[in-house]
Amino acid sequence: MNRITRRHSLGALTSAFGVLAMPQLARAAERPPATIRIAGPGNAAGKPYGNNVLGVLRVKGLLEEEFKTEGVTIDWQFPRGTGPAINEAFANGQLDFSNYGGLPNVVGRGAGLRTRALASNGLAPVYIVARKGAKFASVADLKGARISVSRGTIYEWSLNRILTPAGLAERDVQIFDLQAADQISAIASGDIDAILAGNNLLELVDRDIATLVYSTKGTRAPGTNFGSFVVYEDFARRYPETTQRVVNSYIRAAYFASQEANRQELYDIWALTGVPRAAFARDYDGDDLADRHSPLADGFYRASVQSGIDFSISKKLIRASFDPTQWIDQSFLDRAIDTLGYRQVWRAYDAAGKPQS
């Protein structure tokens, strides 16, 4: 079919560009743009603010500080449409950097968006909660259930990864694509049986609206949320030094988010999103902060990206595959870690989720 070849050649072209496009640091000091535009997923509810490392980066004002002398404005965007909306913003040339979910990462790149992955988001557990009174002892019991999942986001991939080991497929459940506020009323009224999403669901458990059925917390079980910090290729090519400085700031934020001493302050920062502090406390309880916020493009992260690509191909979300090694550009990350002396902070994991020696 001509559209496959068309997209394929587009992909090949952008990949080829990509290899050429990532130059080493420019020799002369470059002048950064007047504005650096950076986005993260908007919150389902509450105030749009940064999650995870991006939240720390914003609260600590690391980028504003880094570019203060040059008078660069940092333009923060948190679209409620989350990943899919971020892809649209990239396509429209309205964004330079973004930290967003693994599935929209892959779908955007697969559709020919010239993004490059700079670092991993780390990982986050996925939760499935059920309405009160529903009898789901395990994932296998979800057969025939009405499940709400925000489509086009990382959770669509998570659902597939979680159902598969239980011997189920998407067609065995009834999927509803609801917005967060509607999810809550729908599960409260019993119109849906279950919701699959992130730590914001823990609030429903705390409020006794729903019960926890399954989570990947404390594990690297299939479906564990992943994502990437990405840059628009044109930006990185035009402003390599600025890109490096942004990555450095991002890695400093990741370092802050990885320190056990900062745990309580981190909960306060993330509570700015409107998700209750208690939900974060519960979500992170007992977890190693460094593992949760590791920016390393390790074997586990790469395997997750590949899984996202395979899933997207099989579900026809993208029409042509691409090579994750061509998409992930580790050079900025490596330089940042070396410059900042963070070699020992994070542990790398292999594709199977075992610590790499």
Partner 1 sequence: MSIEVLSDQRIASSGTLRFARVAGRSSALFSRRWMKVWKGTAMAALLGLSLPAAILAIWTIAARMELVAPQILPMPSLVWATTWDLTVSGDLPRELAVSLARLAGGLLIGGALGLAFGLLFGLSRASEAYLGPTLRAIFLVPSLGWLPFFMMIFGIGETLKFVLIAKTCFLPLMVNVSGAIQTLPAKYHDVTRCLELSRQERLRYVIIPSVIPAIAIGLRQAIAKGWKTLILVEMISSAAGIGYLMMWGRKSFQLDVVFATMIVIALVGLLFDRAVLALQQRTADWSLHTGG
Would you tell me which residues interact with partner 1 (CB under 8 A)? 1-3, 6, 10, 84, 87-88, 91-93, 104, 107-108, 111-113, 151-153, 174-179, 181-182, 185-186, 189-192, 317
Minimum CB separation from partner 1 for residue 91, in Å?
4
Question: Residue 234 or residue 338: which is nearer to partner 1 going by CB?
Answer: 234
Query: How far apart (Å, rounded) are the C-alpha atoms in residues 55 and 235?
Result: 22
Query: How far apart (Å, rounded) are the C-alpha atoms in residues 54 and 76?
Result: 10
Minimum CB separation from partner 1 for residue 268, in Å?
31
Question: Residue 16 or residue 181: which is nearer to partner 1 going by CB?
Answer: 181
Question: Residue 146 or residue 220: which is nearer to partner 1 going by CB?
Answer: 146
For residue 338, which of 251, 226, 217, 216 has the smallest C-alpha distance?
251
Is 86 within 8 Å of 39 (Cβ atoms)?
yes
Minimum CB separation from partner 1 for residue 103, in Å?
9
Is 294 within 8 Å of 122 (Cβ atoms)?
yes
Question: Residue 8 or residue 282: which is nearer to partner 1 going by CB?
Answer: 8
Minimum CB separation from partner 1 for residue 245, in Å?
27
Question: Residue 15 or residue 330: which is nearer to partner 1 going by CB?
Answer: 15
Minimum CB separation from partner 1 for residue 316, in Å?
8
42 SS3 class:
coil
Question: Residue 44 or residue 63: which is nearer to partner 1 going by CB?
Answer: 44
Bridge partners of 123?
A: 226
CA separation (Å) from 307 to 114, 236, 297, 352? 20, 26, 15, 12
Token pair 């609206």 is at which residue?
Answer: 209
Can you give the C-alpha Rg of the chain in angstroms? 20
- What are the structure tokens assigned to 3, written together? 């559209």
352 SS3 class:
coil
Token pair 């990437």 is at which residue?
Answer: 228
Kindly give, in sequence order, each residue whose CB lies less than 8 Å from that of residue 98, ignoring residues fewer than 6 positions away.
Answer: 38, 39, 40, 86, 89, 90, 229, 230
Minimum CB separation from partner 1 for residue 121, in Å?
19
Q: How far is CA 291 from the centre of its chain?
A: 15
Question: Residue 170 or residue 265: which is nearer to partner 1 going by CB?
Answer: 170
Torsion sign over Cα 312, 318, 321, 325: negative
Token pair 């902070």 is at which residue?
Answer: 345
Minimum CB separation from partner 1 for residue 111, in Å?
5
- What are the structure tokens assigned to 140, written together? 């296998």
Kindly give, in sequence order, each residue whose CB lies less than 8 Å from that of residue 249, ignoring residues fewer than 6 positions away.
Answer: 57, 62, 63, 66
Minimum CB separation from partner 1 for residue 15, in Å?
16
Minimum CB separation from partner 1 for residue 334, in Å?
30
